[in-house]
């Protein structure tokens, strides 16, 4: 597998009683409606053709859940690995080319990812209790804010579109 901008580890742990299938998300090696439910968490923003990806999810499953970073996350906490900024309109998932190359605030970014490695931009390493508290609060409230994540639960139908800038 190897390391890329989209994957930072080359070792995958698989339980002995499970099967690991490596495939292409744009052409999945599964039969039509093979699964009752699929979960695609933080994948769609990395895919070359997200409309085909969503079509494949719809083909292989009867229903599912998709979660991606939302526009607020892409604005404040961008990743150079994210090809798309994702939004939604009703039950339609919308993908727009992601041109974000820098976080809005490098300070916000570095405090949000306090003491963490593997991110595109510089983070702070500190045991300062005030910074640790601010980091803790940011992480707790981030998931509650609108447009930080896009979440769609779908059944039978999943509509995806790419939109122009």
Domain presence at residue 131: yes
3-state secondary structure of 83: coil
Domain presence at residue 45: yes
Domain presence at residue 16: no
97-119 pLDDT per residue, tens:
999 999 999 999 999 999 998 88
Domain presence at residue 126: yes
Distance CA 82, CA 86 (A): 10
Distance CA 33, CA 134 (A): 45
Share of residues in the chain with pLDDT > 70 (%): 93
Looking at residues 27-38, what average pLDDT do you find?
97
Domain presence at residue 141: yes
Domain count, the chain: 1
DSSP state of 107: H
Handedness of CA 135, 138, 142, 148 (dihedral sign): negative
DSSP state of 45: G
Domain presence at residue 108: yes
pLDDT band of residue 33 (cuts 50, 70, 90) is very high
- Tell me the Ramachandran region of residue 147: left when phi exceeds 0, alpha when psi lies from -120 to 50, beta otherwise: left
Domain presence at residue 33: no
Looking at residues 116-137, what average pLDDT do you find?
94
Domain presence at residue 139: yes
pTM of this structure: 0.86
Could you list the residue range(s) of the whole structural domain that residue 150 is in?
38-163
């Amino acid at each position: 597998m190897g390391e890329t901008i989209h994957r930072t580890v080359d070792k995958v742990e698989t339980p002995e009683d499970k099967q690991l299938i490596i495939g292409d998300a744009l052409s999945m090696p599964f039969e039509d409606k093979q699964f009752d439910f699929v979960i695609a968490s933080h994948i769609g923003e990395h895919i070359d053709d997200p409309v085909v990806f969503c079509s494949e999810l719809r083909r292989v499953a009867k229903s599912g859940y998709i979660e991606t970073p939302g526009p607020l996350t892409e604005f404040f906490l961008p990743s150079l690995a994210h090809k798309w900024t994702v939004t939604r309109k009703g039950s339609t998932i919308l993908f727009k080319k992601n041109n974000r190359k820098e976080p809005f605030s490098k300070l916000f970014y570095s405090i949000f990812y306090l003491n963490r490695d593997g991110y595109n931009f510089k983070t702070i390493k500190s045991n300062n209790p005030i910074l640790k508290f601010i980091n803790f609060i940011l992480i707790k409230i981030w998931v509650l804010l609108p447009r930080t994540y896009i979440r769609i639960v779908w059944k039978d139908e999943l509509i995806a579109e790419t939109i122009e800038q």
